[in-house]
Structure 1
Amino acid sequence: MTERAKLELSAQHEWEIYVEHPWVPQLFALTTRPPIAPRMMAYTDWRMRAVDGIGLDFETMVRAAIMVSVHTQSAALSLAREMHAKDTREHWLGVRSAKLQEVFDAGELTMIARFGAESVQASEPASIFEFGLQRLLDGVAELIPE
Structure 2
Amino acid sequence: MPIEPPYLRIAGGLRRRIVSGELAPGDRLPSTRVIVREWGVAMATATKALSVLRAEGLVRAVPGVGTVVAERPAPGPGGAGDGPALSRGRIVRTATELADAEGLPAVSMRRVATILSTSTMALYRHVPGKAELIRLMSDEAFGERPLGAVPHGWRPALELAARWLRSAYGRHPWLAQAAASFTGPTASPHAMRYTEWVLRALAGTGLPPHTKLHIHLTLFAHVQGLAMAGELESQALQDTGLSAEQWMEKNEPHSNAISASLDYPFLNSLFEHDEFELDLDVLFEFGLRRTLDGIAVMVGETSA
| Range of TM-score over shorter length | 0.7 to 0.9
Provide the C-alpha distance between the structure 2 equivalents of 1:135 and 1:73, rounded to a whole number of angstroms.
Answer: 16
- Residues matched between the structures, number: 144
From 58, 64, 67, give the equivalent of 2:209: 58
Deviation (angstroms), 1:125: 2.9
Task: Give 1:29's aligned amino acid.
Answer: A
C-alpha distance 14-35 of structure 1, shift in aligned 2 (>3 A): farther
What stretches of structure 1 move > 4 A for 4+ residues in a row?
none
Give the stretch that moved more between structures: 85-94 or 12-21.
Answer: 85-94
Deviations 1:59-109 (A, max 9, x none): 221221122112211221111112222222221111111221111111112
Instruction: Give the alignment partner of residue 42 of structure 1, picking from 174, 177, 193.
Output: 193
Aligned twin of 1:15:
166
Cα gap change, 1:49/1:90 in structure 2, threshold over 3 Å: closer, same or farther? same
In structure 2, what is the equivalent of residue 115 of structure 1? 271
Measure, in 1, the Cα distance between the counterparts of 2:187 and 2:288.
Answer: 24
Where is the helix percentage greater, Structure 1 or Structure 2? 1
- Three-state SS of the structure 1 residue aligned to 2:204 is coil
The question of 1:135 aligning with 2:290 is answered yes
Could you say if the C-alpha distance between residues 85 and 37 of structure 1 is closer, same or farther in structure 2, counting changes exceeding 3 Å?
same
Report the Cα offset of residue 111 of structure 1.
3.0
- Aligned-residue sequence identity (percent) comes to 30
Of 29-38 and 72-81, deviating more is 29-38
Distance 1:104 1:42 in 2: 48
- Identify unmatched segments of 5+ residues in structure 2: 1-151
Higher relative contact order (CA 8 A, sep 6+): 1
Amino acid at match of 1:61: K
TM-score normalized by the length of structure 2 = 0.44
> Whose radius of gyration is greater, 1 or 2?
2
Deviation at 1:28, TM superposition (A): 2.0
C-alpha separation in 2, matches of 1:39 and 1:115: 44
Matches within 5 A, 1:62-141: 62-86=213-237, 87-113=242-268, 114-115=270-271, 118-121=275-278, 124-141=279-296
Shift of 1:118: 4.6
